[in-house]
Chain A
Amino acid sequence: MTCEDMLKALNEVIDDQSALALCTEFADHLAGCNPCQLVVDNIRKTIQLYKAGEPYPMPEAFQDRFRAALKARWKQKFPDATV
């Protein structure tokens, strides 16, 4: 299994534990490789931390400009619709 294959499999396994069943070579490696187990665990915890974070508030001026841009785009896409 090349390093490139390992990294590809790593991404899939982090997203979906069941992907391990499809990649027996990576699963076998992971079972016997503590560094790789730690990396998978670290990444899962990293994602959990960011997901659990509070949403970033949008500055009011940004909100106004964003709404204006959305309105303009909506008008462009649906010229007959009333906003």
Chain B
Amino acid sequence: MATWVLRIATNFAIKALRKKRGLPMTSLDSAEESFADVPHPLYIAEWREPPESQMERAELRELLDRALAELDDKYRIVFVLRDIEGLSTEETADTLGLTISNVKVRLLRARMQLREKLTLELGDDATRVEPDHRHESPTPVH
């Protein structure tokens, strides 16, 4: 689908949602975001048996919907376009008028928040681990 069509659809949907909530219109653009500000995971555990078998489909759908709805708009839209709709980072950036770097940071934020919420519901407490390791090396990755 042409990027401009996606852009119209996205802006239209965002406006409709914000109007519905009675919120003022604000731009989704922002100053450059940083990976350094992404919150670290808190609750880390293996998920129990496949979610579909541990809860009714409707219940699972409600959990997914709720977790997605609780995300900030600007993170939700990136997650939907990238991970659900399958757009590339470049296509997502172009559709939303963001830098590629901002798309990547917002995507990670969305993924981490969703992971946290879902793991709280689906995680096996017996396998919980503490995120207590330190990333101490100051040297660049590559």
Q: A1-B137, A7-B35 are in contact. List 16 more A-B contacts (CB 8 A).
A: A2-B135, A2-B137, A2-B138, A5-B135, A7-B38, A10-B108, A11-B104, A11-B107, A23-B141, A38-B46, A38-B127, A45-B51, A46-B118, A49-B64, A49-B118, A73-B8
Q: Among residues 35 to 63 in chain A, which have CB atoms less than 8 Å away from a CB atom of chain B?
A: 35-36, 38-39, 41-43, 45-47, 49-51, 53-54, 62
Interface residues of B in 109-131 (CB under 8 A from A): 111-112, 114-115, 118-119, 123, 127, 129-131
On chain B, the residues within 8 Å of A11 by CB distance are 35, 104, 107-108, 111
> Which residues of B are interface residues toward A (Cβ below 8 A)?
4-5, 8-9, 12, 16, 34-36, 38, 40-41, 44-47, 51, 60-61, 64, 68, 79, 83-84, 104, 107-108, 111-112, 114-115, 118-119, 123, 127, 129-133, 135, 137-142
Q: How many residues of A contact B (CB 8 A)?
A: 41
9 residue pairs A–B, Cβ–Cβ below 8 Å: A3-B36, A7-B35, A8-B35, A38-B127, A42-B119, A50-B114, A66-B9, A69-B8, A69-B12
The answer to whether A45 and B135 have CB atoms under 8 Å apart is no
In the bound assembly, the distance between CA atoms of A36 and B41 in angstroms comes to: 9
- Interface contact tally, CB-CB below 8 A: 104
Residue on B with the closest CB to A3?
B135
